[in-house]
Amino acid sequence: MPVGAELKRILEKQGYRVVGDHSGVKLCHWLGQKMLHGRACYKEKFYGISSHRCLQMTPTVNHCNQSCLFCWRFQGFTMAELETHDDPEAVLDGCVAAQRKLITGYKGDPRCTSRMWEEAWEPNQVAISLSGEPTLYEKLGGFIDVCTRRGMTTFLVTNGTNPRALERLDPLPTQLYVTVAAPNEEIYRKLCAPTTKTGWMDLQKTLELFPSLGTRKVVRHTLVKGWNLGWPGEYAKLDAVAQPDFVEPKGYVFVGYSRERMHNDNMPPMEEIRTFSSALCSELGMEVLGESAGSRVAVLGHKKEGLRISKDD
């Protein structure tokens, strides 16, 4: 079912632009920071993408099989399945066009150089992560292929509950994230509120599949104080199965509709992210390669990966 008028109104009030029947775009906070102040997203520091050339989008703006309490999106009309699957070329064209309209105002801002604006007009990185669960879009592989053929890198973020989709995904994205937001099934069910009884089991299957996927892989732990922050030993057992290139402990941020379900006190300070990261490194034999206090995130891995990572914001 296409996005309805009422949901579209709510999303647009939040800064989204709906594309086709089920996709959406929203400017990332860090895109504006880069264009106006030269401050980059942690993904630029960690992985080399250009924040001002990143297209933050989703092919499933209103479709997800979890209702995570920490999620920033509006969950009132969420559906678990797509009824239609728009053409990948049309999705990308529509998303680029929508983003261009959203950045138009930056052109007249004296803080934004003409070169920065012209580069932003031609995005070269697609973050498939804005909202919903993108693996529910059956043409996701075709969409990644279109991006790749146009010279764009792709970062895909999944909740890991659709291992079959990942298994048949071709081509794979430049970087694949799986969010592991709970150390065990009990916390997972309370915090992530899956719509299916097999969510935790499916996540385990994704973690088992991870080592065989030939792309750069990251496990992200979204950490909510008072809910899932702690248990480094249990998280480490899950990470050891996935064998990711990197692990990102990232603090929950009190934004969007999550403010109706969470409290400001649920945001862990950066020092607690550092403490958790250090404990997890001890369990995994990894090192803290870098951090971004502004995003409450650290990146863990092995020095041999050779990333040029800064610890400064």
Question: What digits encode the pLDDT tens for the residues 43-59?
Answer: 999 999 999 999 999 99
Between 225 and 6, the higher pLDDT residue: 225
Is 271 strand, coil or helix?
helix
Is 52:34 a contact under the CB 8 Å cutoff?
yes
Residue 308, amino acid: R
Q: How far is CA 16 from the centre of its chain?
A: 16
Q: Of 291, 285, 209, 219, which Cα lies nearest the Cα of 248?
A: 219
Q: What is the pLDDT of residue 83?
A: 86
Rg of the chain's alpha carbons, rounded to an integer?
A: 18
Residue 84 has a CB neighbour count (10 Å cut-off) of 10
In angstroms, rounded to a whole number, what is the distance separating the alpha carbons of residues 294 and 236?
25
pLDDT at 305 > cutoff 70:
no
* Residues linked to residue 300 through DSSP beta bridges, in sequence order: 247, 288
pTM of the model: 0.94
- In the predicted model, is pLDDT for residue 106 greater than 60? yes
**Mind listing the domains of the chain with CATH numbers?**
5-224+235-246 (3.20.20.70)
DSSP, collapsed to helix, strand or coil, labels residue 254 as coil
Mean pLDDT of 290-312: 78
Give pLDDT, residue 304.
Answer: 60
Q: Which residue has the tokens 């089991």?
A: 201
Asked whether the predicted pLDDT for residue 1 surpasses 70, the reply is: no
Mean pLDDT of 13-22: 93
Which is it for the CA torsion 253, 256, 261, 265, positive or negative?
positive
The pLDDT value recorded for residue 307 is: 55
Q: How far apart are CA 70 and CA 97, in angstroms?
A: 30
Cα-based distances in Å from 304 to 137, 211, 310: 35, 18, 16
Report how far residue 220's alpha carbon sits from residue 242's, in angstroms, rounded to the nearest whole number: 11
**82 pLDDT more than 80:** yes
Q: Token pair for residue 261?
A: 């379900």
Mean pLDDT of the chain: 94
